[in-house]
Amino acid sequence: MSVSKPPPPPSTSHLALPPTSSSSPSSSASSPSAMPHSNPLPPPSPVKISMQEHFAINVCPGPILPIPQISDFFPRFHDYPCTPPPPREKKILKEETFNGETSVGYKDGERRGDNDEDREEMLDSDDDDTYLGTLEFSLLFDQENNCLHCTIHKAKGLKAMDSNGLADPYVKLHLLPGASKANKLRTKTLKNTLNPVWNETLMYHGITAADMTTKTLRLCVCDMDRLGRNEFIGEVRVALKKLREGESKRYNMGLERIAQNKETNNQTVEPGALVAEEERGRILVSLCYNTEKGCLLVGIIRCAHLAAMDSNGYSDPFVKIILQPDMGKKSKYKTTVKKKTLNPEFNEEFSYEVTLDQLAKKTLEITVWDYDLGMSNDFIGGVELGINASGQRLKHWFECLKNKGKKVEYWHTLTQQGAPSSDKPD
């Protein structure tokens, strides 16, 4: 038996031929002159893969899955590995902002008055076809005291807004038209529930029968978020002209993203002068002439819907009263200052020692101011009661003189009367 000798190692000389893929005897027996004409094979190129595939192969062999997004872990989106839904169109929001006469939008006066918080809550709402839940509440208009009682009972089946599948809901009330902080109320916040029970009554003061024919109550259910902005869940609207005086009416309505109430959107606003007066607010004043002591008792009870004069959207209001013609220091009084409110409650009473004959010739000037520390106070509005007044102001004065010993209360709309010369229009 013969043992084959291993082939010699390849020479490192520059004359050595490159190895060929074939090891047949015919190729080894070929002449050296024929080898330079054969084309050598190119070296194999490296396989090109992405960085994501590189790490996926090294970490978890198997099918390569897409990188999950943070939105995949929230309940409002579909379960992983489905891709998140496309971004929602803001078409309705744009119509509200730029077109004051669209059927789904607000009027310019309503929408421009909203603060940034309301706009952020609107952006957080979900698709229109999502079930948002129901809200149960009741309304009562007390014409004698000019109050609107709004009792928020409960909500049911609210949409989950938090990562734990629950929500922290509260209800905000707005009187439309007009969206300043003076006519906004809100309930307390209930934690971790989709079926909250509030049983909370909120009151609007200074609401007249004329307001009931033109105003609309808007109730928004929102989710409170301590770490981010509050999220809008849904809303309902009720035209107050459907309420009867003294009758409590209960509602159970489904929440919507934007309540398309044609009656509300078609309401017309009064002329500009009346709107300017409404923006200043109202004041509740009581008058009583005490015949035993021979004095006039003036009660400053409360104000409602005052204009915001400070940068924080509120005011620090107080009231000045002067009995004209000026009787010296005894004719001027001032209430205490109520901090950061547009609906202050004073319940303060002042007396003027004056005979009934002299009182008939005098005028009571009432002005509301915003207190500013270290600066001049800002004038909010005023009203004058006396023989030279007209309308509701004259009626209030006559009833006080006619019904001696009886306290007569009236709501009055604040106007430019009593403003300092620098604040009066040219």
CB 102 within 8 A of CB 91: no
Q: What is the pLDDT of residues 6-53, one digit of tens each?
A: 555 554 444 444 554 444 444 444 444 445 555 667 777 676 777 766
Phi-psi region of 210 (alpha: psi -120 to 50; beta: other; left: phi over 0): alpha
CB 173 within 8 A of CB 202: yes
The first and second tokens of residue 149, run together, are 């009682």
**Residues of the chain below pLDDT 50:** 1-4, 11-17, 20-34, 77-80, 88-116, 119-128, 259-277, 426
Please give the pLDDT value at position 183.
79
Exposure string over 359-376, b if 16+ CB within 10 A, otherwise e: beebebbbbbbbbeeeee
Long-range contacts of residues 184-192, Cβ cutoff 8 Å, at least 24 apart:
185/150, 187/152, 189/224, 192/162, 192/164, 192/166, 192/167, 192/168
Q: Rounded to whole angstroms, how far apart are CA atoms 412 and 386? A: 13
Q: Rounded to whole angstroms, how far apart are CA atoms 147 and 203? A: 7
